[in-house]
Amino acid sequence: MHLSDMTFGKEPNKLAEVINFYNKTKVGVDCADQMIETYSTKFATRRWPIVLFCKLVDIAPLNAYVLFEKLKVDGA
C-alpha cells in the first residue's frame, strides 16, 4: 500500500507516509481496545488456549455491537 518514499512536514521533522497513515488510523484501534477492556473476561492463566478463547469472547460482543449499529443506521 505504501510503496513511495514520500514524506510530510518540514525538513527537520519529516514524517514518512507510512507513519503519517498510522497516526491517522490508530484511533480506531485504540477505541476498540478501550471498549473491549471495559467488559473483559480475561483472568490469570498460563494456558494459551484459554487466553485465546477469552480474547475471542471479548472481541465477539464488540463485533456484534458494530453490526447492530450499522444495521440500525441503514434501516435494514
pLDDT tens track for 19-70: 777 888 888 888 888 888 888 888 888 999 999 999 999 999 999 998 999 9
Give the pLDDT confidence score for residue 1 in this predicted structure.
56
Same domain, 28 and 43: no
Structural domain containing residue 2: 1-38
Same domain, 13 and 3: yes
Structural domains of the chain, count: 2
Q: What does residue 47 show for φ and ψ, rounded to 5 degrees? A: -100, 115
Is the pLDDT score of 10 beyond 70? no
Q: What does residue 45 show for φ and ψ, rounded to 5 degrees? A: -155, 155
* 59 touches 36 (CB < 8 A): yes
Helix axes 48-74, 17-38, angle to 10 degrees: 100
Is the pLDDT score of 75 beyond 60? yes
Same domain, 32 and 43: no
Same domain, 29 and 55: no
pLDDT band, residue 18 (cuts 50/70/90): confident
